[in-house]
Amino acid sequence: MATEFTMPMLGEVMEEGCIVSWLKKEGDTVEQGEIIVEVETDKAAMDLESPASGLLTKILVPEGETVPVNTLLAVIQ
């Protein structure tokens, strides 16, 4: 079963975040709780953890792109 990894709301007023860098690439195995991407908001840089263990099958938002909260970032199977 696939797990959708979306841009979380990291603060009360956060509306969007920028993907600084992916620490894993498509095809890599990830563990739940492992840091897989660095995101920058208007207030801080944050490390985001994988919500599930499995295979990172698809990265949908490339590095350098800014997206709104709840945007699908990646799929883990």
- Please, what CATH class does the domain formed by 3-9+16-69 belong to? mainly beta
pLDDT recorded at residue 48:
97
pLDDT recorded at residue 13:
83
44 burial level (CB within 10 Å; 0-12, 13-18, 19+): exposed
**Residue spans per domain, the chain:** 3-9+16-69
- Global pTM? 0.91
pLDDT recorded at residue 57:
98
Quick one: which of 1, 31, 23 has its CA closest to 73? Answer: 23
* pLDDT tens string 6-65: 999 988 888 999 999 999 999 999 999 999 999 999 888 999 999 999 999 999 999 999
Quick one: which of 39, 47, 45 has its CA closest to 69? Answer: 39
